[in-house]
Structure 1
Amino acid sequence: MNEGYERKKQPELVRRTLIDCAARLATERGLQAVTVQAVADAAGVTKGGLFHHFPNKEKLIDAVLKDQIDKFDAAIEATLAHDGERYGCFTRAYVIATFSMAEFAPALESTCVALLTDPVARTHWSDWLRARLQRHHATDAAPELEIVRYAADGVWLADLQQLPADLRMDRDQLRTRLIGLATE
């Protein structure tokens, strides 16, 4: 009789761990540090185990990006649930989520560098944004709201570049001002 230990299979937990480890590596050491071997080691699985969930590194990175966009989307949903004003509701939620990005999805900044260079990542983001803008067309189609969202994107880019504080407006004041511009 075999008395060996048999680990219970938990594919969703392993998949989640692989995504989290890849995101953590990207945050700590940059996207170039996300290698199949490094992620497998960090997750405590074999390379074969990783390949069982993701056929290649690109699919793993895609999963990390999608996961981060989903977290961003969840933050927007949470804000929308408490926003009592229709005009600009998505834009205000977008500003709030962008300003608090480091709190809810620390890997988003590192992994979304790919948005600047990777066509697949840009497609993920564009598809998400297109769907959101279509859903909120009645409340957020005004050109001035698009300008506010572009300003929030600029804040994200400044954060990504670690722009010194003396070259920037106070974050809380800027956030309040942008939210004010997105309010009737």
Structure 2
Amino acid sequence: MLPQTYRPVSLKRNIMTKQTTTAHSLREALCCERGYKRKKQPEQVRAALIRCAAELAARSGLTGVTVQAVSAAAGVTKGGFFHHFPHKQALLDAVFASFLAENDQAIDRLMDADDLPSGRFTRAYIGVAFDDILQADKSLLIPLSLSMMASPELCERWAAWLAERLQRHQETDSLPQHEVARLAADGVWLAYSLGNTHGIRDPLSLKNHLLTLTRERNSL
């Protein structure tokens, strides 16, 4: 989950390119599993390349995602890499597309379980952001998100994704408290991502407070 207001100097977690890695696998794994038969399961090779690229980006930033490093991590040759991706940027696009799809699926699941229309998207957005925070010690998703902030192109795609979601839910999530709650969630997410948590109360309490705010129709 990238902050909804984040923009680098020139611009600001939409493309939906063809994906063979599900959002669920990227969130669950962010590591490489090599127990597959490469010659017989090319889609699993592609999925492994995407997962390994995500792991490298999380650990070393986008500069650490090289053709050689990803190929070695996934256990394939450079020829195997280029069979699936013509260049590094195509692989990064696939990683980010999976990242966005993961956010979509996680948000949609939370929205489906929410019976109150007003603020439904905002509560799901908050839920996903705080899930990242609460699982930070076991997940590479936050460092992956931070590494993606270094790319203006990927930030622009994130901004486009968020703009489309906000447009889709404008009838239910346009009250001032909805925006305030989303921005607050972004701030907490970014603070925890950067390790700047001094003075921040328990994240679970903050999450519950923001969720309550979204249910108060005229609170602001």
Q: TM-score, normalised by structure 2?
A: 0.74
8 Å CA contact 1:65, 1:112 repeated in 2? no
**Following the alignment from structure 1 to structure 2, what is the Cα–Cα distance between the partners of residues 40 and 7?**
13
Q: Which fold has the larger relative contact order, with Cα–Cα distance below 8 Å and residues 6 or more apart in sequence? A: 2
Residue pairs, 1:1-184, within 5 angstroms: 8-101=39-132, 103=135, 106-164=139-197, 166-184=198-216
Secondary structure class of the residue paired with 1:86: coil
8 Å CA contact 2:58, 2:147 repeated in 1? no
Gaps of 5+ in 2: 1-36
User: CA 1:157 to 1:140, structure 2 compared with 1: closer, same or farther past 3 Å?
Assistant: same
Secondary structure class of the residue paired with 1:117: coil
**Percent identity of the aligned residues?**
45
Superposition deviation, residue 8 in structure 1: 3.6
Instruction: After the TM superposition, list the runs of 4 or more consecutive aligned residues in structure 1 that deviate by more than 4 angstroms.
Output: 102-105
8 Å CA contact 2:57, 2:63 repeated in 1? yes
8 Å CA contact 1:65, 1:111 repeated in 2? no
8 Å CA contact 1:99, 1:152 repeated in 2? yes
For these two proteins, the number of residue pairs brought into alignment is 178
Superposition deviation, residue 84 in structure 1: 0.5
Structure whose CA Rg is larger: 1
8 Å CA contact 2:55, 2:144 repeated in 1? no
Q: TM-score, normalised by structure 1?
A: 0.87
Superposition deviation, residue 72 in structure 1: 1.7
Gaps of 5+ in 1: 1-5
Match of 1:3 in 2: none
Superposition deviation, residue 136 in structure 1: 0.9
Secondary structure class of the residue paired with 1:113: helix
